[in-house]
Amino acid sequence: MDVYNMQKTARHPRGTTQCDKSRSRNGTPLPSRRPGPRVLPRRTRRAHLPAGFGSRDLPCPAAEDISPCECVVGATYQMDMLCSFVVDFELARVFEADFPFKHFRRLELRNSIGLTVLQEGEFGAVKPSRRSWWTSRVPETLVVVSLSFNRISEIPVDGLKNVPNIEDFHFQGNNLQYVYPGTFSGLQSLRRLDLLKSNLKNIPERTFEFSSSSFRELVLTSSNISNIEPNAIKGLKAGSLWLNGNLLKGLDESAFRPILTEVGSLYLAGNPLSCGCDIAWLVTRPSLLAKVADDATCSNGQLLADLDPAISCSSIWRLQSRLSIFLKMQ
């Protein structure tokens, strides 16, 4: 036996060899170590998708069953589902997969120009006789839904009713033209609704009614909005309302005064506001004007905050009348 092997088998005083790791220092057998579940780092990371199909990494479903979606697992084994390049009718197939665990936290679906409509049976708006992937597969633990930058033109009126714990809903960059009244009412945990870059134009009565006591932000930036009807937006609970980058020319008191009474901040920059008598009610009430962000301007570039509240509407009308007469005389 060579020196190396003699050293490997040299015995220690208590009778264990140097390489005998199955016994403790006092000679008693150690419990066998069985491989346990693989715990990934605390940071959220992508589930290991195999090069070929036919296997799964718990708690995710099999990769081939959810393609073109991808499963992302968090430290507590909650899943995020990330989908892109999805086409019409494909979501129903994805969520018919066998999900060994249903602790979803987030669903993100984006950059799917082939997805133009959320079909009946795909987003909760189903007939009682039909089984929906949304109601039967997606669990109540889902708190974030992002369906941004697709070509979806509407949200089914009951589309979110089966996700009672939802906190954030993102629907940016879609061709959304209308929101059915009551779509977002009854969602007791909703905090943020982001409809940036929609195509809403007009906001009718009861479009946005929020019953969540924790609601904090409604984003309607750059959504081609030119008119907001009275009682169109209710339940902001001292949150923020983003209306910047739209086509609003006036701020009708019957529509905006109730909003400013309950909102914490109102963002109006980038609207062609005429700043006529229609906003006198706002300029003459400092407590309400203070809720409007400082960068809001009139169409001529003058800041709303710099408008003189001492100038009454009657004074404006007289000045406009004199200017009109003067121009006719020229």
Q: Are 114 and 151 in the same domain? A: yes
Neighbours of 18 (CB within 10 A): 11
Domain end, chosen from 166, 201, 229, is at 166
Pick from 120, 131, 235: which is nearest to 186 by CA? 235
Confidence of residue 27 (pLDDT cuts 50, 70, 90): low
Tell me what the mean pLDDT of segment 269-295 comes to: 93
Q: Which residue, chain included where needed, has tokens 């005429």?
A: 274
Q: Are 220 and 118 in the same domain? A: no
Q: Are 209 and 305 in the same domain? A: yes
Q: Look at residue 28 and tell me if it is in a domain.
A: no
Q: Look at residue 296 and tell me if it is in a domain.
A: yes
Considering only residues 216 and 308, tell me which one the structure prediction assigns the higher pLDDT: 216
Tell me what the mean pLDDT of segment 296-317 comes to: 80
CATH of the domain at 267: 3.80.10.10
Exposed/middle/buried for 324, CB within 10 Å: 0-12, 13-18, 19+? exposed
* Domains identified in the chain, total number: 2
Q: Look at residue 98 and tell me if it is in a domain.
A: yes
pLDDT for 61 equals 84
User: CB-hemisphere CA count at 13 Å for 170?
Assistant: 15
Range with the poorest average pLDDT among 45-54, 98-107, 244-253, 300-309: 45-54
Spatial distance between the Cα atoms of 94 and 256, rounded to a whole number of angstroms:
43
The predicted-structure confidence for 218-242, as pLDDT tens digits, reads as follows 999 999 999 999 999 999 989 999 9
Tell me what the mean pLDDT of segment 65-75 comes to: 84
Q: What is the mean pLDDT of the chain?
A: 76
Q: Look at residue 9 and tell me if it is in a domain.
A: no
Q: Are 139 and 243 in the same domain? A: no
Residue 216 has pLDDT above 50, yes or no: yes
Q: Are 189 and 319 in the same domain? A: yes
Confidence of residue 2 (pLDDT cuts 50, 70, 90): very low
Its pTM stands at 0.71
Provide, rounded to the nearest whole percent, the portion of the chain with pLDDT above 70.
Answer: 68
Considering only residues 311 and 312, tell me which one the structure prediction assigns the higher pLDDT: 311
Q: Look at residue 121 and tell me if it is in a domain.
A: yes
Considering only residues 31 and 109, tell me which one the structure prediction assigns the higher pLDDT: 109
Q: Look at residue 6 and tell me if it is in a domain.
A: no
Structure tokens at 197: 């870059």
Residue 26 has pLDDT above 90, yes or no: no
Q: Are 85 and 133 in the same domain? A: yes
Q: Are 195 and 316 in the same domain? A: yes
Residue 191 has pLDDT above 90, yes or no: yes
Considering only residues 23 and 306, tell me which one the structure prediction assigns the higher pLDDT: 306
Residue 147 has pLDDT above 80, yes or no: yes
Tell me what the mean pLDDT of segment 248-277 comes to: 95
Q: Look at residue 177 and tell me if it is in a domain.
A: no
Q: Look at residue 20 and tell me if it is in a domain.
A: no
Q: Are 192 and 90 in the same domain? A: no
Range of the domain at 312: 185-323
The secondary structure of 169-211, three-state, reads: EECCCCCCCCCCCCCCCCCCCCCEEECCCCCCCEECCCCEECC
Q: Are 194 and 318 in the same domain? A: yes
Confidence of residue 320 (pLDDT cuts 50, 70, 90): low
pLDDT for 74 equals 73
Q: Are 318 and 200 in the same domain? A: yes
